Amino acid sequence: MCGIVGGVTNKDITTLLLEGLNHLEYRGYDSSGLIVLSKNNIFDRARSVGKVKNLEDNLKARDNKIKGNIGIAHTRWATHGEPTINNAHPHISMNSVSLVHNGIIENYVELKNDQLTKGYTFASETDTEVIAHAIDFAMKSCSTLISSVQLAIKSFSGSYGLGIISSKYPDQIIAARKGSPLVIGVGVNGNYIASDQMALLSVTKEFIFLEEGDIAEIKIDKITIYDLDGNLVDRPIKTSNLKPGQTDLGNYDHFMQKEIFEQPQAIRDTLESRITNDSVLISAFGDKAEEIVSRIKQVQIIACGTSYNAGLVAKYWLEDIAKIPCNVEVASEYRYRHPILLNNTLFITLSQSGETADTVEALKTAKKINNNISTLCITNSAESSLTRLSDLIFLTHAGPEIGVASTKSFTTQLVSLALLTCSIGKIKQVINKKQEREIVDGLKRLPGLINEALLQETQIKKLAIRFKTKNSALFLGRGTMHAIAMEGALKLKEISYIHAEAYPAGELKHGPIALIDKDMPVIAIAPNDELLEKLKSNLQEVKSRGSQMIVFEDENSKVQELEAMEVIPITSNLGRITAPIIFTIPLQLLSYHVALIKETDVDKPRNLAKSVTVE
Ligand code: AGP
């Protein structure tokens, strides 16, 4: 949700700013811009509407003359104000302060009214411009840039990740974070800031992760950090294990395609050191995991989007296998109601980014409601707001996911939740050694099973053509497959812009069956489980209303025998844990190929951003 990059070096910074923006484009791509302090400490700025490519073209048209040793840049996901040049960052106040912002200043109207009385004028409709003016105003009474920022920030309510430069202080960048991620890259010939390490991997692997409320003064050879209360603090430098190539496309056409095909390896990485030959290591959830799990009596899962769908699958597993009550809720609802949270609850947040604002706030809300709960976050991001706020941390090890549509983060979340289910079941003594071994065997088979499911791509590609002229689609499943159907529908919506809904197959007759006609493709998932016969009856009900049906089945489900259905065998004889993970694969491939046919921007679908760090 907006990407920030900046740096102060002894070389020209523009190339790095552009490169960084390209790596951050997954965070938003409505407009982008950069600003440097040129030779005589004059701001030189370029901004463009649309993708970073447009900014690059804009700079080329200006003969790439924007150059300087200090600069900041931004790629935007619009919240306040449409994606226009004037609303694009960086914003400037009085030719003295310029900044880029990720987050929302909630009291900006009040601040703006006050600043208008002080003679400030506004060039944009954003909430961000008030920050620039507030800092400029504070500079009149403060002797340093950082003290001006510290003073100005006191008046903001909301969230911010900020990169600030000033023509009056040409040797420094000020970085500040509250509610939005920001890292400092520690380099040899300079120091840098970014919303995400990926933007800076070409210049450094050493990072300082700012904590909530931190403000840093960054010079070419010195970094000074203060906490929220103004105390000088020492934050550790950590070495990133990300490799620059990990964020490249390689031989693939799209990141989503690459990430779908990376799933076997991502799952191997997630399982590594978390299982032995025949058992799950509870300690993988942290040193205190065994003690915490032995105390808990129920589980509450909170997440958004794809992560929420993973939580829905886990509810079936936790209640069915680990015999522990489990509720799942979307974070944006949970945070604003007044839920009852019993003692001995394990409160789990699921999030690829670890930064989703609703999920972070829901966790904070839960802690306020009942401080006796234990918290676990399952995330793909080691240094994130959620990891900082949780008692137990489990990293999914999916590797960087760049495509806005989540794929490998979903299947690795499911693997993590399967390990959790097994751990809880073991501690509560409701699963025996044999059952544990079966779960572990199933998990170990997953990479091979996914590779087999991926072999159906050619057939799925042919089916995708049918969606070219369709406006809606319905996904059906029962049990855990209802959650997988939800994930399939979300994928199709996100990247092909076809309206899609998922229903538990048994619920269809209570209303949605009225939608069925020849123009409504229905996609069903038919594993060979105890609900198969019920599902087959539901499919007959749909077929007799003239729908074009596509069924992804277990070979032994024998849906083939029903007429007028396109049936694609995906696998055979899967268990309760492996089946939902494997049936996810054809749905990912289907949405990917429909998006290609519809010629949408697969990795950067309209109106979306990868990490939703605002409400
Ligand atoms: C999934 O394809 C979406 N991009 C989106 O629903 C995403 O899962 C959601 O925003 C939650 O993100 P998180 O996992 O990073 O918290």
- 267 and 118 belong to one structural domain: no
CATH assignment at residue 216: 3.60.20.10
Asked if residue 197 and residue 257 are part of one domain, the reply reads no
Lowest mean pLDDT among 97-101, 301-305, 536-540: 536-540
Question: Whole domain around residue 321: which residue ranges?
Answer: 249-453
Query: How close is the Cα of 356 to the center of ligand 1, in Å?
Result: 8
Q: Does 302 lie in the same domain as 274?
A: yes
Report the CATH number at residue 308.
3.40.50.10490
The confidence band for 545, taking pLDDT boundaries of 50, 70 and 90, is confident
Q: Read off the pLDDT of residues 356-410 as tens digits, 9 standing for 90 and up.
A: 989 999 999 999 999 999 999 999 988 788 998 999 999 998 988 989 999 999 9
Order of strands across the sheet with 215-219?
Answer: 91-93, 97-102, 160-166, 169-178, 215-219, 222-226, 232-233
Same domain? For 441 and 341 the reply is yes
Q: Using an 8 Å Cβ cutoff, are 101 and 89 in contact?
A: yes
The residue among 247, 266, 283 that closes a domain is 247
Q: Dihedrals φ, ψ of 60, to 5°?
A: -60, -40
Q: Are residues 303 and 384 in the same domain?
A: yes
Any idea which of 66-75, 116-125, 512-521, 575-584 has the lowest mean pLDDT? 512-521
Which of 325, 313, 327, 323 has its CA nearest to residue 362? Answer: 327
Same domain, 399 and 543: no
Residues 481 and 398 in one domain: no
- Residue 249 is predicted with a pLDDT of 86
Q: Is 2 a catalytic residue?
A: yes
Q: Are residues 218 and 321 in the same domain?
A: no
pLDDT, position 326: 98
Nearest CA, atom 4, ligand 1: 405
Q: How many domains does the chain have?
A: 3
Instruction: Provide the mean pLDDT of the chain.
Output: 93
Instruction: Kindly report the protein residue whose alpha carbon is nearest to atom 2 of ligand 1.
Output: 405
User: Which of 247, 269, 287 lies at the terminal end of a domain, its last residue?
Assistant: 247
Confidence of residue 129 (pLDDT cuts 50, 70, 90): very high
Specify whether 412 is located in the same domain as 466: no
Task: Decide which of 65 and 483 is more confident.
Answer: 483
Q: Is the CB of 353 under 6 A from ligand 1?
A: yes
Please indicate whether residue 258 is annotated as part of the active site. no
What pLDDT, on the 0 to 100 scale, is given for residue 514?
87
Same domain? For 173 and 254 the reply is no
| Residue 85: pLDDT over 70 | yes
Q: Ligand 1, from 612, 614, 615: best to mutate by most atoms within 8 Å of Cβ?
A: 612
Q: Tell me if 413 CB under 6 Å of ligand 1.
A: no
Does 292 share its domain with 208?
A: no
Is there an atom of ligand 1 within 6 Å of 548 CB? no
Give kind and range of the element (H or E) at residue 605. none
Give the separation between CA 17 and CA 423, rounded to whole angstroms. 45
Domain match, 407 and 534 both? no
- Ligand 1 pocket residue status of 32, Cβ below 6 Å: no
Among 225, 247, 269, the domain boundary falls at 247
pLDDT band, residue 556 (cuts 50/70/90):
confident
pLDDT score at 168: 96
Q: How would you label 51-85 residue by residue, b for 16+ Cβ within 10 Å and e otherwise?
A: bbeebbebbeeeeeebebbbbbbbbbbbbbbebee
In degrees and rounded to multiples of 5, residue 549 shows phi and psi of -110, 140
User: What is the distance between the alpha carbons of residues 552 and 566, in angstroms, rounded to a whole number?
Assistant: 9
Between 209 and 543, the higher pLDDT residue = 209
* pLDDT at 193 exceeding the cut of 90: yes
**Distance in Å, CA 71 to ligand 1 centroid:** 31
Question: Model confidence over 54-68: pLDDT tens digits?
Answer: 999 999 998 888 999
Q: pLDDT for 142-180, tens place per residue? A: 999 999 999 999 999 888 999 999 999 999 999 999 878
**Measuring CA to CA, how many Å separate 179 from each of 108, 152, 176, 182, 243?**
17, 17, 10, 10, 27
Task: Rounding to the nearest 10 degrees, give the CA dihedral for residues 603, 608, 610, 612.
Answer: 180
Closest Cα partner for 415 from 281, 580, 289, 282? 580
